[in-house]
Amino acid sequence: MNIGVVGLGLIGGSIAKSAKKNTGFKVYGYDISESVIKSAINEKSIDGELTEKRILTCDYIFIPLYPEAVVEFVEKNAANFKDGATVIDCAGVKRSVCEKCFEIAEKHNFSFVGGHPMAGTQFSGFENSKDTMFYNAPFVLTPKENEDILTLANAREVIMKLGFGRVSVMTPQKHDKLIAFTSQLAHVVSNAFVKSPSAIERKGISAGSYKDLTRVAYLNEDMWTELFLDNKDNLIFELDNIISELQKYSDAMKNNDPVTLKQLLKEGKEAKIKAD
């Protein structure tokens, strides 16, 4: 079996390295940077460059690019994918990608399945990729309605071989609704939280809470701007909700109201227990 990886950054590099370590598949990779391709070949993370001719030989193509770039690549190479091949993107939003790519795949006799590996770090680039990145992590698939069961089963098998712990299947719409809360909101809150003037003075008086809450403030602003705007309806809903909740805490303290404040804290604790 041959696997192609388009984009050898943190996620793409980790997919390539995991495939080389855990499978007997041939792995071909492409990156906009020639030096990255050379490094990947020299490190034996890939078996060679993913050329147009090699795209034709690949049974699976993973595309860990920004949403717009995923669609552009699929449109450009639609006629080059092997008949029956499965193409899986790894973008952080699914509706804007899947809507267009499902239609392209239908016309060119390959399968497109939306995908999202729920793993990563705040760092980027091939140099930070590793073959253990996905160990026991979840992977979400967002197939078209009535996708062939065998196509999904085979895709799941390949993904599990990369080291993932489980594969979930849902619609692109449900993915984007949930990801707005579980990931995007956390990045916005973290990024805004660290803008406090107190952040400069906090050394020596910060521990785990500060570290946990600010980890994802260090982000790629180009990528996250695209992701936030592609999913702005869901993210705005989550932002408005947390702003409303925070206002309740602020009002309770402004009113010196311990009863309300205690109730709010209790409700938050109970919500955490229920969510877990």
Report CA dihedral (58, 62, 65, 69) to the nearest 10 degrees: 50
Report pLDDT for 88. Answer: 98
Report pLDDT for 176. Answer: 98
Helix (H, G, I), strand (E, B) or coil at 275: helix
Report pLDDT for 141. Answer: 98
Report pLDDT for 124. Answer: 87
* Ranges under pLDDT 50 in the chain: none
Report pLDDT for 154. Answer: 97
Nearest to 64 by CA among 97, 38, 39: 97
CA distance 22 to 131: 9
Kindly provide the b/e burial profile for residues 111-127, where b requires at least 16 CB atoms within 10 angstroms of the residue's own CB: bbbbbbbbbbeeebebe
Report pLDDT for 179. Answer: 98
> What tokens were used for 42?
């020299």
- What predicted TM-score, i.e. pTM, was given to this entire model? 0.93
CB 5 within 8 A of CB 15: yes
